[in-house]
Chain A
């Protein structure tokens, strides 16, 4: 339950990350128009080009006041940036409601009132990175498992429902993919792509981790297709498609959710492991795995905050997904549920 709440929270953080921490106003009035520059964190295109044209140079507080004295802006809760080092002079000309300093660099960036989770050796705020990194954590889990589930369920369903030679062929396919060491597959696929983006990474993780889902779906389908209600539907004259989707899949879905939710955890782990090996989310994505990787590089520099916070983030997220998976497992297993005290 707590796990579920945490995951929902994670989603919220992912969705609102630019409003929580960023250097772009959530909303501002500039030369008489309203703009939402913070959307630029989701997609640079959504940040109005006027700010580039007017030579804001990515620094809003100072520029806004300089270029238009009438302007006003609503700022994110924390003024820090996940991509760059924030300098003290950025607030120049703005009534100094908040005392700013240059972000410290190298191993001087201990957690402080300005940088809650410290800074990276390059002076980028870890808290900002973590908050914006949630997006990737959430996406990696969901997109990759979405792909994996799609492939896994399709293949498992076909094999389990039609049996016969389709089953033989698909089962062999599952076996082949299972035998290929995941890391080889992932590394190979990553290098095949010219410019891997985080989306490619998710796709690749998805494409390589569907086997357990397929196996379970197949088993479920084999079991469920023998159920009397399937026979009853056939007796009513229902087509295969109808039976697969309305009768079997709907009932197979709950148990299949279990490996999926464990898979989400695994996908996050794979992403961070890949980052650890230097093949993770491509820059400048502030993924937790990348931060952890940085922390590992600097572990002897006593930059514990680089290991602790992202490590904790990964650990907690994985833990939550695992807990949800566990919960689902219990909920879908009638024997366990019966005994659930």
Chain B
């Protein structure tokens, strides 16, 4: 296996709020391979964004990376991001690691032209004249398929539609050839047809620029389309981690299973009720003891209430080694399920 681009080990990020400590990310480990895409899925509030922001170190004050390491492998050098001085980190941002956000409507500064916002990023990391930076901005706009880029570069964000703004965001993120692009729900706020445009664009640009992408979404379809590896999070924890095809064919964690099963699928019989995951997502201030999923888990047992499982390879023959799961009873559940399928 080649050297990964980013390796996160046991990351803990907490928010020290008045009501208590919000453990937004607990003991998360993952790797982002070079030139590949890692998908991050999970319920709202499970810590996806915080994980991403921890990588780029943009956690704002009450929040803090408490422990863990984030290693960034740059041209053979290993850079530890958690301890990197702020000035150094700033150099990383934009040039090595870029990020785009969910809300294209509010993520661009309304009082500056689109071109200048891109050019600003370019000038920050490259010693170029403002003319050259501008040209680069126009070129990037062109690359993200904005028609009439030359003219539109000097327009303000409010002149752009949502999809176009998201493309501008992508242009800005990619303007300095980053090694890693973090896309935090890049298409959730967009319409289906526009989402298709943006996803297509991202894929094309990935082949062109060869960067790695960390894509965050809660749409399994997007994951299926974009990701090479998938990491499923639930309540600040990684609950399952596998290559995409593997995960879609063999979901092991009861939460992942539930997620797949609760989607209405084309062709599913209509008169049948959807399968649901009962209950609600726990508040990060009051996580249940033991396995955090146990109150909603159909297979929960006494042990689940007391003992927190570890992320491990399940002891199942057909599962490849890259598939890990965070469940005491992954094997048993698999057996039960198979039995159920057979019995139907």
Contacts and interface: CB of A to CB of B under 8 A. Distances in A.
B321 interface: no
A334 to B, nearest CB: 15
Nearest to B60: A339
Interface residues of A, number: 2
B320 interface: no
B338 interface: no
The interface residues of chain A, by DSSP majority, are classed as loop
Contacts, number: 5
Interface in B32-91: 61-62
Interface in B258-285: none
A336 to B, nearest CB: 13
Contacts of A341: 17-18, 61-62
A283 interface: no
A340 interface: yes
Interface in B6-23: 17-18
A340 B61 CA distance: 11
Interface in A322-341: 340-341
A340 B19 CA distance: 11
Contacts of B17: 341
A9 B18 CA distance: 29
A341 B61 CA distance: 10
Nearest to A338: B17
A340 B18 CA distance: 8
A234 B317 CA distance: 60
Contacts of B62: 341
A58 B17 CA distance: 61
A341 B15 CA distance: 11
A338 to B, nearest CB: 9
Contacts of B61: 341
A277 to B, nearest CB: 44
Contacts of B18: 340-341
Contacts of A340: 18
B49 to A, nearest CB: 15
Interface in B164-179: none
A1 B18 CA distance: 17
A101 B301 CA distance: 86
B48 to A, nearest CB: 19
Nearest to A340: B18
A340 B62 CA distance: 10
A264 to B, nearest CB: 28
B63 to A, nearest CB: 12
A159 to B, nearest CB: 28
Nearest to B17: A341
Interface in A242-263: none
A341 B22 CA distance: 13
Nearest to B16: A341
B148 to A, nearest CB: 35
A38 B62 CA distance: 56
A341 B60 CA distance: 12
B283 to A, nearest CB: 15
A340 B17 CA distance: 9
A41 to B, nearest CB: 45
5 contacts: A340-B18, A341-B17, A341-B18, A341-B61, A341-B62
Q: Which 5 A-B pairs have the closest CB atoms?
A: A341-B62, A341-B18, A340-B18, A341-B17, A341-B61
Interface of B: 17-18, 61-62
